[in-house]
Amino acid sequence: MKHVISALVRNQPGVLAHIAGMFAARGFNIDSLVVGRTEEADLSRMTIVVLGDESVLEQVRKQLGKIIPVVKIRDFSEVAYVERDLLLIKIHVPAEKRPEVTQLVNLFRGRVVDVARNSLMVELSGPEDKLEAFIDLLRPYGIRELARTGVIAMQRGQQAKNDAALQNSS
Q: Is the pLDDT of residue 140 over 70?
A: yes
Looking at the structure, do residues 121 and 149 belong to the same domain, yes or no?
Answer: yes
Domain annotation covers residue 19: yes
Q: Tally the domains of the chain.
A: 2
What is the CA angle 89-114-105, rounded to 5?
Answer: 55
At residue 53 the predicted structure's pLDDT band, cuts being 50, 70 and 90, is confident
Looking at the structure, do residues 48 and 93 belong to the same domain, yes or no?
Answer: no
Q: Is the pLDDT of residue 161 over 70?
A: no
Of the candidates 78, 91, 113, the residue with the CA atom closest to the CA atom of residue 5: 78
Looking at the structure, do residues 72 and 56 belong to the same domain, yes or no?
Answer: yes
Q: Is the pLDDT of residue 166 over 60?
A: no
Q: What CATH number does the domain containing 70 carry?
A: 3.30.70.260
pLDDT at 77: 86
Task: List, for residues 20-44, the tens digit of each pLDDT value.
Answer: 999 888 888 899 999 999 999 999 9
Looking at the structure, do residues 88 and 143 belong to the same domain, yes or no?
Answer: yes
Looking at the structure, do residues 19 and 58 belong to the same domain, yes or no?
Answer: yes
Amino acid identity at 109? R
Domain annotation covers residue 170: no
Domain that residue 146 falls in: 82-153
Cβ neighbourhood burial of 156 (10 Å; 0-12, 13-18, 19+): exposed
Looking at the structure, do residues 19 and 50 belong to the same domain, yes or no?
Answer: yes
**Inter-residue contact 72 to 101 (CB < 8 Å):** no
Looking at the structure, do residues 14 and 47 belong to the same domain, yes or no?
Answer: yes
**Residue ending a domain, choose from 44, 78, 112:** 78
Cα separation, 65 vs 73, in Å, equals: 7
Domain annotation covers residue 159: no
Grouping H, G, I as helix, E, B as strand and the rest as coil, residue 154 is: strand
pLDDT at 52: 86
At residue 139 the predicted structure's pLDDT band, cuts being 50, 70 and 90, is very high
Q: Is the pLDDT of residue 170 over 50?
A: no
Task: List, for residues 109-133, the tens digit of each pLDDT value.
Answer: 999 999 999 999 999 999 999 999 9
Q: Is the pLDDT of residue 163 over 50?
A: no
Task: List, for residues 58-113, the tens digit of each pLDDT value.
Answer: 888 898 998 889 999 999 988 999 999 999 999 999 999 999 999 999 999 999 99
Domain annotation covers residue 50: yes
Cα separation, 96 vs 110, in Å, equals: 20
Domain annotation covers residue 160: no
Looking at the structure, do residues 16 and 74 belong to the same domain, yes or no?
Answer: yes
**Residue ending a domain, choose from 21, 55, 78:** 78
Looking at the structure, do residues 86 and 138 belong to the same domain, yes or no?
Answer: yes
